[in-house]
Chains A and B, each alone.
Chain A
Amino acid sequence: MMRDLLSIRDLERSDVERILERAASFAEVGRREIKKVPALRGRTIVSLFYEASTRTSSSFELAAKRLSADLVSVKASGSSVEKGESLKDTIATLSAYGPEAIVIRSPEAGAANLVARWTDAAVVNAGDGKHEHPSQALLDVYALRERLGELDGRSIWIVGDVLHSRVARSGILAFRMMGAEVTVCGPPTLIPRGIESALGCRVADSLDGLGDADVVYALRMQRERMRESFVPSIREYARAFQINERRLSPRQLVMHPGPVNRGIELSGEVIDGDRSLIVGQVEAGLVVRMAILYELLAGEPRDARDGAASLEPPTQIGEPA
C-alpha cells in the first residue's frame, strides 16, 4: 500500500495501472444521481494550498467529498500562513485535527517531502514549486489512455517553458514509465540544462520534427518570462512554438494542464477542436484524485510512520514543557 504520493518516482508501473483502473471505476459514480460513495466516511482530509489553484484544489476537494471524507480546506491567503506561521507549525496545528491525509500545494520544491517527515498522515503532493505535480501526471496518463489506449511506443512532445514546469517534470517521468518516448521542445532558455540525462527525454529546439509526435502537450507560457529575458517577446514565442492547425496533422492529439493562454501556446481553434483533450483532462482530474485518496486511505487504519518526528502543537507560554 502506498504511504504518500510525493513524486512519480515513488510509483511502479503496476501502482499507476492500479490507480487508473480504480479511477475508471469511479468514473461511473459521476454518472449516478447521487454522486457519492461511503468509501472514506469518517476519514479526515486536510487540503493546504499555499498557491492559487482552481483545478487541483477544487478537484481534490470534490474527490474527498464524493468519497464521503471530512474535509478541512486551508488557503494561504487569510489564514495563519499569511500571518507568518512556519510550514512546520502549520502542520503541527492541522495535525491536531487528526487528519488521515494532507494534500499540499506549495511554491517550494520539497515542501511535501518535509511535511511527510512531520506527520503520520498520508501526504499528497499537489504541486511543489517547479519540482513535481504527480496527480497531474497521473490524470494526464488517464486522459490519454482513454483516447489512445496504451502509451507504449507513443511519441509525446512537451512544448514550452519546461524550465519552470512541475507538470513537465512529473509528466516526463509518468509518460516514460508507461512506455512512451518523450521529447521536450522550447526555446533553449526555457529548457533545463542536463534534462536529457536527468529525465531520459530528447530535446528539440524547434517544432521541425513535430510530425513524429502522437501527442503534443503544450505548457503555459507566462508573460513575465519576457520581462525576465527568457524570450524576446510573447509574440516571437508564439511565432516559433505555438501549436496551431498549420503545425498539426489530423491524427495528433493536444493536451494542456490549464489555464490556457488562448492564442499564445495554443491557437483558439486547436483548443476548441476535436483533437484537444483539455476538457477530458479536467474530467480525469476528479476521478484520478478520488482514486489517489482511496489508494492512500482505504482499508486498515494507518500505522505511525517509522521515524516520523511527531509534532506536538506549540507549547503555550506559561504551560509546563
Chain B
Amino acid sequence: MAETLDWRRGEAGDLILAGARVVDPASGLDEARDVVIRAGRIAELASTGSASLDGAERIDAEGLLAMPAFFDPHVHLRTPGREDEEDPETGARAAAAGGYCGILAMANTDPVVDTAADVVALRERAAAEACVPTGFLATATRGMAGEELTEALELRDAGAIGISDDGLPIASSRVMRRVLAYQGLHGLQLALHEQDPELSAGGSMHEGEVSAELGIGGWPSVAESIMIARDCELAAYESARIHVQHLSAASSVEAVEAAKARGVRITCEATPHHLVLTDEALRSLDADFKMNPPLRTEFDRQALIAGLRSGAIDCVATDHAPHAADEKAEPIESAPFGVTGLETAFAVLHTELVLPGVLPLDLLVERMSAGARAFDFAQPRIEPGAPADVVLFDPAVEWEVGADGWESRSRNSCFKGRALTGRVQLTVAGGRVAFRRRSFALGVAS
C-alpha cells in the first residue's frame, strides 16, 4: 500500500512497541509481544521484554493494543473545490489520528475528478502533503452525469485506484451495464452509491415512523435495495465485480447475501454511524445526523451488525464527509448530507460494539482494514516481513468527542458529545510514525 499509494513518505525510523497486546486477526494472534519495526517492515514479534534494536525508539506499549492499521476505501477530501472543508493534508492527518494507514478519496468534488490530468494533479498533491498513503478514484461517468463513460484506461494509467460516481447513483440501467462491461478492459474496481433517485426524491431521512412524525421527506430503504439487486444482476450478467458502498438497510444486506450466495463478485461496506445510530437521532432536528444514505431503524442497524459479523458485509468504511459549519447550521432539509468519521470510527465501534460484547475485537479489527482487499491491496498484517502498518490503541482511555481537538478541517461529527472508551495513540504507516497523540509520551531510545 505504501508503495502503491501517494503520500509524504519521510524517513522511516526504527521502533519497538514494547509489551503491546498484539491482535492479528489473520493469524489469530492475540498475545503480549514486543513489536520490532525496522526499515519500514515488521522485523520481529519478540516475547515481551526481549527485543532490542540499536537506534530504535522504544515505546512502552504495555496495556495497549497493537493492531493492523485500518484502511478506509471511502473518504471525501473535498479537493479540488472545497479546500475550506478538507484537503489531502488535513484529511490524511485525520485518517492517521483515527488509526488509518491508507485511504481512498472519492471523485465527487467540485469540479469532479474525471480526467487523467485531475488524477495526476491530486496524486502530486498527496505525495507532497499526505501523511498516510492516499489513493484517488475517478468518476465512472463524465461529469458524474450518468450518461457517458469516463476514459477508464487512461484514468487507470494515470493512477486512479478505481471508479465511482459516489454521491450519485448511476440511474440508467443501460449506462450501468456499459460501465460494468467496460470494466473487462481496465479492471478497475467500481464503487457504487446505490439509491433509486425517483424513490428517494425529496428525502432527507429514512422513511418511517420518525419521518412521519417530523414531516421530513423520507427516503425509503427499498430505494437502496432495489438498486443493489439491479446491479448484482447486471454484474452477474456482465461477469463484472462491484463494491457496494455504505449499506444502510436490512433489505440491502439480504440482497448482498443472495448475490454472494449465487457467486456474484461483490464486496460491500458499512459505516460506523449506520452500525451505531438510528433515525431516532433525527428527533433532535440536528443536521449533523443527516447523511446519505440516512440512518435507519434499529432493525436495519441489527441487520448491518449481523452482516458485518457474518461477512456479508466485508468491511467498515467511514464515508468521511466534511462540511463547513455554516452549511450544517441549516434546517435539516436544506443542510448537506454527510458527517465526518475518520477520527472516531474505531473508538466508536470499540465502545458501542466490542465492549458490550456485540462483536469480537479481532473480527472488528479485520473488518477495519478489509476494504484494502476490495481494491486489490494487501490487507495490513502484523507478522514478520509485512509492511509496518500498525495502530497502537489504548482501550482504557475515556474521552468525549468534542467540538475541538480535530485534525480534520471540519467538525460535523454525529458522535459529538458522546463518551467513548479507547483511543488511538500512535499510527505507523509504511514504517513511518504518521500520528502520535500529543499526550502519548515519547519513549527512551535504547
Evaluate contact between A198 and B212: CB separation under 8 angstroms. yes
Q: How far is the CB of B208 from chain A (nearest CB, A)?
A: 5
Residue of B nearest to A88 (CB): B329
Does the CB pair B210–A109 fall under 8 Å? no
B285: nearest chain-A partner, CB-CB:
A110
Given contacts A86-B330, A166-B215, list 17 more A-B pairs with CB under 8 A: A86-B326, A86-B329, A108-B332, A108-B333, A109-B216, A109-B331, A110-B214, A111-B331, A114-B329, A114-B331, A131-B214, A131-B215, A169-B213, A192-B212, A193-B207, A194-B211, A199-B212
Within 8 Å of chain B (Cβ to Cβ): is A197?
yes
- List the B residue with the shortest CB-CB distance to A131: B215
Q: A residues within 8 Å of B by Cβ?
A: 86-88, 106, 108-111, 113-114, 128-132, 164-166, 169, 192-195, 197-199
Q: Are B208 and A194 in contact (CB under 8 A)?
A: yes
A198 B213 Cβ-Cβ under 8 A: yes
Kindly list chain A residues whose C-beta atoms are within 8 Å of the C-beta of B330.
86-87, 108, 114
Interface of B is mostly: loop
- How many A-B pairs with Cβ below 8 Å? 72
* Given A86-B326, A109-B331, A198 contacting B216 (CB threshold 8 A): no
Residues of B with Cβ closer than 8 Å to A? Answer: 207-218, 220, 285, 326, 329-334
CB <8 Å contact, B215 and A108? no
Assess the A128–B216 pair: CB atoms within 8 A.
no
How far, in angstroms, from A110 to B214 measured CA to CA in the complex? 9
Bound form: Cα–Cα A110–B331 in Å: 6
**Measured between alpha carbons, how far is A86 from B324 in the docked complex, in Å?**
13
Q: Which 5 A-B pairs have the closest CB atoms?
A: A130-B215, A110-B285, A108-B331, A192-B212, A194-B209
Residue of B nearest to A115 (CB): B331
Provide the residues of chain B in CB contact with A194, threshold 8 Å. Answer: 208-209, 211-212
B207: chain A residues within 8 A (beta carbon) = 193
User: Could you give 24 example pairs across A and B, Cβ below 8 Å?
Assistant: A106-B331, A108-B330, A108-B333, A109-B214, A109-B215, A109-B216, A110-B214, A110-B332, A111-B331, A113-B285, A131-B214, A131-B216, A132-B215, A169-B213, A169-B215, A192-B215, A193-B207, A193-B208, A194-B208, A194-B209, A195-B209, A195-B212, A198-B210, A198-B212
> Which of A131, A197, A199 is most buried by chain B, counting CB atoms within 10 A of its CB?
A131
Most buried by A among B214, B220, B331: B331
Chain B residues with Cβ under 8 A from A88's Cβ? 326, 329
Chain A min CB distance to B276 (Å): 22
Known: A113-B285, A193-B207. A108 touches B334 (CB 8 A): yes
Q: Judging by beta carbons under 8 Å apart, are B212 and A130 in contact? A: no
> Which residue on chain A has the smallest CB distance to residue B212?
A192
B326 touches A129 (CB 8 A): no
Chain A residue contacts of B214, Cβ below 8 A:
109-110, 131
Q: Is the CB of B212 within 8 A of A109?
A: no
Within 8 Å CB of A132, what residues of B?
Answer: 215
Chain B residues within an 8 Å CB radius of A108: 330-334
Say yes or no: A109 contacts B326, CB within 8 Å. Answer: no
Bound together, the chains give a CA A106 to CA B285 distance in angstroms of 14
Q: How far is the CA of A198 from the CA of B218 in the complex (A)?
A: 14
Q: How far is the CB of B117 from chain A (nearest CB, A)?
A: 33
What residues of B have a CB within 8 angstroms of the CB of A106 in the complex?
331
Write the nearest CB–CB distance from A36 to chain B, whole angstroms.
Answer: 35
The complex places the Cα of A193 from the Cα of B213 at a distance, in Å, of 10
Report the separation of the CA atoms of residues A86 and B212 in the bound assembly, to the nearest whole angstrom. Answer: 27
- A109 and B332 within 8 A (CB): yes
Q: Closest CB-CB distance, B289 to chain A, in whole Å?
A: 11
In the bound assembly, the distance between CA atoms of A166 and B214 in angstroms comes to 9
Measured between alpha carbons, how far is A121 from B331 in the docked complex, in Å? 19
A216 CA to B211 CA, complexed, in Å: 25
The distance from the CB of A175 to the nearest CB of chain B, in whole angstroms, is 15
B403 to chain A, nearest CB (A): 11
Residues of chain A within 8 A (CB-CB) of B208 are 193-194
Q: Which residues of A contact B209 (CB under 8 A)?
A: 194-195, 197-198
Residues of A within 8 A of B216 (CB): 109-110, 129-131
Question: Cα distance A195–B218 when bound, in Å?
Answer: 13
- Alpha-carbon gap, A130 to B205, bound state (A): 14
Residues of A within 8 A of B329 (CB): 86, 88, 114
